[in-house]
């Protein structure tokens, strides 16, 4: 099995950039959620289009889990089984922070539907990138029109950050929180140091 690393964080945390950089460095499969498959793109459209309007929280959690089930079955697990490393931009942690904590469904109920969706496939490491609210807001201001989740309001995104912090604190073996402030290269060095300590390079024989 290859190594499975996930990047998590709120909007504007820079995790997508860092996920791509690690995937390049490892020559890993890079993928993302929601929308990492053709079917997933349709679910992503539904989930993120502001035109969708309010979605029942359970419906939202199930649609995220449906995207993930198809993604795991057709992209992530087959790649890992072939021995490829996989770097994924968002995974179950996003559903726990956004739907579980910020939408108020609770971690345990959201975990249950995700265990079903993923058949229990858990990442070897989750890298959580955190930035203060003002840094995230400044980065987002450059990103154009907000999607449905980005428009959910300051309080919602505070809850997301709180949910992530709880997850990292409760899962110290699999989660690591990294300061996402500063230049891309600076954050990259922090990520690299952590990843190398978790997955030491194989000693040449
Ligand atoms: P995306 O464009 O991937 O956001 P970012 O650039 O911040 O990664 O949009 C994904 C949005 O969907 C983001 O607001 C987080 C949200 N989301 C959930 O609420 N639950 C989930 O399980 C996942 C995967 C994403």
Residue nearest to atom 22 of ligand 1 (CA): 95
Q: What is the mean pLDDT of residues 96-124?
A: 98
Predicted local distance difference test score (pLDDT) of residue 23: 98
Q: In this model, does residue 204 exceed pLDDT 70?
A: no
Predicted local distance difference test score (pLDDT) of residue 144: 84
CA-angle at 99, arms to 171 and 15, nearest 5°: 60
Residue nearest to atom 13 of ligand 1 (CA): 149
Mutate to test the pocket of ligand 1, among 19, 98, 164 (most ligand atoms within 8 A of CB): 98
Q: What is the mean pLDDT of residues 13-37?
A: 97
Which positions ≥6 away from 54 have C-beta within 8 Å?
A: none
For residues 62-81, one letter each, b for 16 or more C-beta atoms within 10 angstroms of the residue's C-beta and e for the rest, the string is bbbbbbbbbbbeebbbebbe
Instruction: Give me ligand 1 centre to Cα 196, in Å.
Output: 27
Instruction: Give me ligand 1 centre to Cα 195, in Å.
Output: 23
Using CA atoms, how far apart are residues 172 and 181, in angstroms rounded to an integer?
Answer: 21
Residue with tokens 């950050």: 161
Instruction: Give me ligand 1 centre to Cα 89, in Å.
Output: 9
Q: What is the mean pLDDT of residues 126-153?
A: 89
Predicted local distance difference test score (pLDDT) of residue 2: 96
Instruction: Give me ligand 1 centre to Cα 90, in Å.
Output: 7
Q: What is the mean pLDDT of the chain?
A: 95
Determine the atom of ligand 1 nearest the C-alpha atom of 11: 7
127 near 5, Cβ under 8 Å? Answer: yes
Tell me how far apart the terminal alpha carbons of the chain are, to the nearest angstrom.
Answer: 21
Q: Per-residue pLDDT tens for 48-87?
A: 999 999 999 999 999 999 999 999 999 999 999 999 999 9
Return the SS3 of 185. Answer: helix
Predicted local distance difference test score (pLDDT) of residue 205: 54
Confidence band for 203, pLDDT divided at 50, 70 and 90 = low
Mutate to test the pocket of ligand 1, among 7, 11, 55 (most ligand atoms within 8 A of CB): 11
The DSSP H or E segment spanning 138 is helix 133-141
Using CB distances shorter than 6 Å, the residues near ligand 1 are: 11, 16, 33-34, 48, 64, 90, 94-95, 98-99, 149-150
Instruction: Give me ligand 1 centre to Cα 102, in Å.
Output: 13
Which of 42-46, 135-139, 162-166, 169-173 is predicted with the least confidence, judged by mean pLDDT? 135-139
pTM of the full structure:
0.96
Cβ-count burial of 150 within 10 angstroms (0-12 exposed, 13-18 middle, 19+ buried)? Answer: middle
Give the residue from 169, 127, 125 showing the smallest Cα distance to 8: 127
Which of 45-54, 109-118, 135-144, 151-160 is predicted with the least confidence, judged by mean pLDDT? 135-144
Give me the sheet containing 4-8, strands edge to edge.
29-32, 86-89, 4-8, 125-130, 175-179
Q: Per-residue pLDDT tens for 151-193?
A: 888 899 999 999 999 999 999 999 999 999 999 999 999 999 9
């Amino acid at each position: 099995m290859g190594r499975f690393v996930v990047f998590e964080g709120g909007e504007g945390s820079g995790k997508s950039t860092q996920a791509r950089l690690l995937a390049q460095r490892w020559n890993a499969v890079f993928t993302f959620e929601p929308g990492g498959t053709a079917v997933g793109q349709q679910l992503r459209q539904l989930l993120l289009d502001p035109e969708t309007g309010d979605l029942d929280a359970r419906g939202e959690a199930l649609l995220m889990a449906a995207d993930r089930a198809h993604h795991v079955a057709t992209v992530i697990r087959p790649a890992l089984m072939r021995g490829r490393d996989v770097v994924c931009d968002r995974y179950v942690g996003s559903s726990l922070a956004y739907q579980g904590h910020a939408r108020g469904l609770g971690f345990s109920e959201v975990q249950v539907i995700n265990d079903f969706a993923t058949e229990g496939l858990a990442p070897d490491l989750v890298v959580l990138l955190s930035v203060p609210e003002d840094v995230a807001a400044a980065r987002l201001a450059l990103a154009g029109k907000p999607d449905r989740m980005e428009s959910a309001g300051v309080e919602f995104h505070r809850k997301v950050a709180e949910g992530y912090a709880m997850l990292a604190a409760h899962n110290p073996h699999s989660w690591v929180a990294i300061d996402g402030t500063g230049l891309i290269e600076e954050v990259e060095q922090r990520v690299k140091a952590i990843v190398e300590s978790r997955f030491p390079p194989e000693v040449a024989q």
